[in-house]
Amino acid sequence: MAKIVCVLYDDPVDGYPKSYARDDLPQINRYPDGQTLPTPEAIDFQPGMLLGSVSGELGLRKYLESQGHILIVTSDKDGPDSVLERELPDAEVIISQPFWPAYLTAERIAKAPKLKLALTAGIGSDHIDLQAAMDRGITVAEVTYCNSISVAEHVVMMILGLVRNYIPSYQWVVKGGWNIADCVTRSYDVEGMHVGTVAAGRIGLAVLRRLKPFDMHLHYFDRYRLPEAVEKELGLTWHPSVEDMVKVCDVVTINVPLHPETENLFNEQLLSKMKRGAYLVNTARGKICDREAIVRALETGQLAGYAGDVWFPQPAPKDHPWRAMPHHGMTPHISGTSLSAQARYAAGTREILECWFEGRPIRDEYLIVDGGKLAGTGAHSYSAGNATGGSEEAAKFKTA
């Protein structure tokens, strides 16, 4: 018998939904690279349900309790008096989502002597101190590719929203206005613009594919260069460094994992190398950008707009400067937790748990840390170290 602690975001303010806008989801069997979707032995939910909030429980309770395990589900994750902190000593498995991350710092890992598996329901395990997990022999896994296309769609939406000045224009309608001149003084076409992605993995490449029909010039930086056939198909220009790419781009989208090498990558110095009036979209991780440098770049006009759904910490304190900075299009961390994505990452979470409890190998593409070292996707995408420093600031969201 194991205790599983699952940290999920709160239910809707009006309560858990009794009905949904749509009756079903499109049937998808494989991801664009051929990887199959999660294949658990069974699921105990209807795809399209809200699974990522506390009452949704990722559809796991019936399965886990039928196996004799204890499931604790909570949204209370920050501070020394939180439910998560209280349950750490007996937890064998901790499940969290990037959107409402259970920060597993070295200090918290030290308080969890029974912890063997840290599972991310989604993609991106930077809220876990990977070095501490390696040192303790804890397995870290995530549901790779489950919401990559969801995020790519969100990126395209945000690029169009910024460049076309959509949000301020919508707000004039809500206020009862018809202020066309006010709307269009910051509105442009994306056609002919140069757009570049920092990293061209599953998300970055999907963004480029979706932007090609807009007749934009496509650029990318990645330490792993794409096949020549892909570059030719999409008309891509590869750059040997981020600095080389950003200086020619009107729009830059960040799609790289957070680890010590990418933390604060977009600082004052790099932002100064971008074209004046460029747009920056970050759906990767908030800590990849220097928080105060982004605000200053928007205030001075170095950036014409900044959008994204990732903050640091998460949830963002109510006095976080990105809430009030000019010309932004920020949302809570929602890009990868559409109802469509939730069905995939809930199924993937169950697949990983089935493998874990039955002693079967977890898919290599799901592994981040295993056997005391980076493994699988982790070996390709991360570097050893810790990116959780400062996460205790998330507790300010509760007290503000």
Active site residues: 147, 285, 314, 333
Closest CA to 351 of 49, 59, 6, 74: 59
Q: How far is CA 18 from CA 21, 25, 47, 346, in A?
A: 11, 17, 14, 19
Pairing of strands 93-96, 278-282: unpaired
Tokens of 214: 């807009």
Phi/psi at 34 (nearest 5 deg)? Answer: 100, -15
**Phi/psi at 285 (5° precision):** -150, 140
Whether the link from the prior residue into 313 is cis, omega within 30° of 0, is yes
DSSP 90: G
Collapse the DSSP code of 294 into the 3-class scheme (helix H, G, I; strand E, B; otherwise coil) and give the result: helix
Bridge pairing between strands 70-74 and 3-7: parallel
- Distance set, CA 362 to CA 47, 163, 256, 344, 400 (Å): 23, 42, 24, 16, 41
CA 55 vs CA 18, 75, 285: distances in Å: 12, 10, 26
Strand duo 93-96 + 194-198: pairing: unpaired
CB neighbour list of residue 340: distance below 8 Å, 6 or more residues apart? 25, 26, 48, 150
CA distances from 77 to 7, 8, 10, 94, 234 (A): 7, 9, 11, 11, 43
Token digits of residue 273: 């190398």
Q: Does residue 362 contact residue 352 with C-beta atoms inside 8 Å?
A: yes
